[in-house]
Amino acid sequence: MTNPEQADTLPARSLGALQVSAIGLGCMGLSANYGEIPDTTAGIELLRAAYERGVTFFDTAEAYGPFDNEELVGEALAPVRDSVVIATKFGFDIDPVSRERRGFNSRPDHIRQVVDASLARLGTDHIDLLYQHRADPDVPVEDVAGTVKELIAAGKVGHFGLSEVGASTIRRAHAVQPVTAVQNEYSLWARDSEAEVLPACEELGIGFVPWSPLGQGFLTGAVSTEQSFHPGDVRSWFPRFTPEARQANQPIVELVRAVAARTGATPAQVALAWLLAQEPWIVPIPGTRKLHRLDENLAAAAVALSAEDIRTLDEQTASLVVHGARGTGHEHYA
């Protein structure tokens, strides 16, 4: 494994016109969705440690918390704001008092309100990369792209992104306002984007940001078939994390472990190195709450898988049946 002291040499990659570290940090878990939340001090320390190790790309959203994660990221990165790329997201209707999520909302006026609120929470005058978090069935994506285009012209936003979308939506949005990055789930056990989304991104010069690149921990081998999850952990109700699905999906873990043993890397590093080997414009954003996991993940940038290892992972994961729908069970990229 690469020494943590060497991680300040983390290579750069391009997402469209944005240059970022080859591996970013998904910040959601510091404020939401994985059980008990770390205290603010611990979250700030981890975010600053990531920057010290070469990470310049940080991913948050108003929905994470809600709201708390943007505040955490803003406070942690304030001393280095001009040296980092902060991505955040809009797209949900969230009650500002109860913080209850009430469905989708990408109406132009709402987008403008969310951006102003996000700027305040982040403590900055601009958002480097603004994603639509989820498509709104009641608002054409052309209207969304047009609104973000106005926000870019106003200097409040630098670049436009889309999350959890298919190729046709990407093309429609890109025709109105160039899309810099698409963020979909992508990993060795979630390869849906390969059919249409990745080819569209390559054709249009759009960067791709895999969320959950470690399969929400499953691909690291750290999620046992027997363990139970905290009631606040989304894996406690995701179809792919039932005890039966975890048991049925063990061949994927065994495959990654076998490649890791051959390369001298960890399973997490193999899973991330496989993603990095797919295209030079792919930038995964693994999340963690632990410093030693951060070091492990970032060291994946120095893992060079052989052509044989990549082919083995490609072919065998493609032929394995993954049990349990990903996410809530309703996600798809058609």
Catalytic machinery residues:
64
Nearest one of 115, 43, 56, 117 to 82, comparing CA atoms: 56
Query: How many whole angstroms separate alpha carbon 178 and alpha carbon 198?
Result: 16
Question: Exposed (0-12), middle (13-18) or buried (19+): which is 115, by Cβ within 10 Å?
Answer: buried
Query: Are 86 and 127 a contacting pair, CB within 8 Å?
Result: yes
Report in angstroms the alpha-carbon separations of 152 from 116, 129, 228, 321.
13, 10, 45, 43
Count of alpha carbons within 13 Å of 210, Cβ hemisphere only?
A: 32
Residue 257, SS3? helix
d(CA 270, CA 313): 10
Residue type, 324: G
- Round to the nearest angstrom and report the end-to-end CA distance of the chain: 38
User: Would you give the DSSP letter of residue 62?
Assistant: T
Other Cβ atoms less than 10 A from the Cβ of 12: the count is: 12
The alpha helices in 53-188, defined as continuous H runs, are: 68-77, 108-122, 141-153, 167-174
Please, which residues have CB within 8 angstroms of residue 59's CB and are 6 or more apart in sequence? 24, 25, 26, 27, 28, 87, 88, 183, 209, 211, 285
CA distance 248 to 246: 5
Contact 294, 50 (CB under 8 A): yes
